[in-house]
Structure 1
Amino acid sequence: MNRIGTDMDVQALPHLEFAPGDLPGMMGSMGELVEREIAWESNSRATHELLWTASGAGTVTIGEETYTVTPQLGLWLPAGACHSGFTPLGTCQRVALFSIGGTPQFSDRPVPVEITPLLQLLLKRLQVPGLDERSRSLSEAMIVDVLQPAERDLRVRIPASELLQPIVEALRQEPGNRFSLEQWAEQLEVSTKTVTRSFRAETGLSFSRWRATVRAQHAVVLLAAGMEIEDVAFRTGYHSASAFGAAFRRVTGKTPGFFRSTGGE
């Protein structure tokens, strides 16, 4: 989920068909420093992609699920996967492109990936000018070998029902919204049981757990941009940094400080 600002660049990218016979055998990588908030419209590539950031954090939406990408947590996208995205101002985003084949454990579904220090070094090595063919091939093989699914990911499933849309929109615009389950039920003119059943049916989570996950996802973007933990706590609806830290760790398995650096805990 993204809080959409008024000064945003909306960019359209092509939908490329999956065509193995036309793909290069080599893997490429690229990076970009985002100088204005960007919303990427739905697109797809004919190659596999690994998305992450060198600094800052962004989100990638596939169907009804939104993933967070950071310097520590990337996202593997299989060829042909339709996705859209949001990248805040100041984010340094990265993408590596993989040819079809050679990656059976990742080839058919989106997979959150740990961006370990070793993987970072190997990805940086591919950007060295004049890298000879042998060194490039070895680096590519090692990258595929060290790719590992993340133990925890920052994924939010967005409810699609009309009943829950007021809640979704309210938290999209203001992740710190403090309306309780009872208050939402009253506003929607249904019982708390109805709201709870709907959230569990559509997201697999209770309302409070889903809201905590939305807040954590938004918090990571703010933390990666350098905002102080106390300010992030307030912006995401918590009365204290300690309460925020406890809730954040329950969702992510990490402390807020983990996402304010590139080296992890």
Structure 2
Amino acid sequence: MPTTSAIGLERFEMMRGETFHRHVHDEHQLAWASAGVLMVEADGRCWVLPPNLALWIPGGIWHATMALRETVMRGIYLDPAGVPAVWDVPTVVSVSPLAHHLIEHLAGDLAEEPRIRAEAVLLDILRPVTTSAIELPMPADPRARDVAELLLADPADHRSLEELAFAVRSSPRTLLRLFLAETGMTFTQWRVHARLQAALALLAEGYTVARVADLVGYASASAFVAAFRRVTGHTPAGYFSDGSAGSAGSAGVAGSAGVAGSAGPAGPAGSTKSDAASVGRGGLARARAAAGA
């Protein structure tokens, strides 16, 4: 067990759209929203994180963070001299109810020995999540990236691969090759992830599952829920719940009625199909611009 305290904690109350622009520091960081929803861009990838998930960011990795709604962000900073890197790449971890309470405990005025013990327990219980996080790596080649930006700007864009290839003066075969080589996903997989990331932002705003399905391009709520479950291992409601994945419910995520579906609102008054496009332009695209990706 370390003999000196290695963790520093900061609390940030963030308005919707508020961004910590691209920056880097020597300390490892655990980026976590105790309430609300964070979008984090790091190492060429983007994650949407409700309170049951956090992102481990190794020291020396450039990153940007944005609140998708009113959010309380906890920045947990770890001195590399006292805590070696647990993971050497950005890694999504589950925030269990125990981890949640430990972080709140560490935010208090503790003597050094109790703090060291609590820090050791927190680091010991962090577990990577392989099925829940919706990652979205961006292609670097201008042709594939132009297609990616088109789909981020309008997740409900129903153009075929052939039509998108024509729009960027490329060929379907070339785009298929580029997406697989540069993102590790097939084009179809990447498109699904783009739609689901946009959906998370809308769900966090309180839109119903049915409305979100329509806004991001699914023919039915059941088709959307099936795609969501395939990628995350959860239903949309379960992703934000305080079940086995973590403590979002106890953290007080607003909009949970909308996530649940029938009990929630269809969306803010006057919401239209363009709302999903604004998620892409005002959310994912803005975070990437801030991160210089």
Q: Same fold (TM over 0.5)?
A: yes
The equivalent residue for 1:16 is none
Q: 2:110 aligns with which of 113, 116, 131?
A: 131
Q: 1:170 aligns with which of 143, 146, 150?
A: 150
Task: Provide the rounded CA distance (Å) in 2 between the counterparts of 1:37 and 1:227.
Answer: 17
Ranked by relative contact order (alpha carbons within 8 Å, sequence separation 6 or more), the top structure is 2
Task: Provide the rounded CA distance (Å) in 2 between the counterparts of 1:264 and 1:217.
Answer: 21
Are 1:29 and 2:9 an aligned pair?
A: yes
Task: Provide the rounded CA distance (Å) in 1 between the counterparts of 2:37 and 2:190.
Answer: 20
Task: Provide the rounded CA distance (Å) in 2 between the counterparts of 1:221 and 1:92.
Answer: 16
The equivalent residue for 2:47 is 67
Task: Provide the rounded CA distance (Å) in 2 between the counterparts of 1:254 and 1:101.
Answer: 37
Secondary structure, aligned partner of 1:37: coil
After TM superposition, give the deviation of residue 249 of structure 1 in Å. Answer: 1.4
Are 1:142 and 2:128 an aligned pair?
A: no
After TM superposition, give the deviation of residue 190 of structure 1 in Å. Answer: 3.5
Secondary structure, aligned partner of 2:127: coil
Unpaired stretches in structure 2, ≥5 consecutive residues: 246-293
Amino acid at match of 1:199: F
Amino acid at match of 2:65: G
After TM superposition, give the deviation of residue 26 of structure 1 in Å. Answer: 3.5
Which deviates more from structure 2 when the two are superposed, residues 102-111 or residues 135-144? 102-111
Are 1:108 and 2:112 an aligned pair?
A: no
The equivalent residue for 1:229 is 209
Secondary structure, aligned partner of 2:70: coil
Secondary structure, aligned partner of 2:128: coil
> 1:220–1:259: 8 Å Cα contact kept in structure 2?
no
After TM superposition, give the deviation of residue 103 of structure 1 in Å. Answer: 4.2
Secondary structure, aligned partner of 2:93: strand
Unpaired stretches in structure 1, ≥5 consecutive residues: 1-23
* Aligned residue runs from structure 1 range 62-101, under 5 A: 62-101=42-81
The equivalent residue for 2:38 is 58
Q: TM-score, normalised by structure 2?
A: 0.75
Cα distance 1:123–1:245, how it changes in 2: closer, same or farther (>3 A)? same
Task: Provide the rounded CA distance (Å) in 2 between the counterparts of 1:256 and 1:36.
Answer: 21
Secondary structure, aligned partner of 2:142: coil
Moved over 6 A (4+): none
After TM superposition, give the deviation of residue 102 of structure 1 in Å. Answer: 5.2
Secondary structure, aligned partner of 2:129: coil
After TM superposition, give the deviation of residue 51 of structure 1 in Å. Answer: 0.6
Task: Provide the rounded CA distance (Å) in 2 between the counterparts of 1:166 and 1:207.
Answer: 13
What's the RMSD between the two structures over aligned residues?
Answer: 2.1
Cα distance 1:204–1:54, how it changes in 2: closer, same or farther (>3 A)? same
Q: TM-score, normalised by structure 1?
A: 0.83
Are 1:157 and 2:134 an aligned pair?
A: no
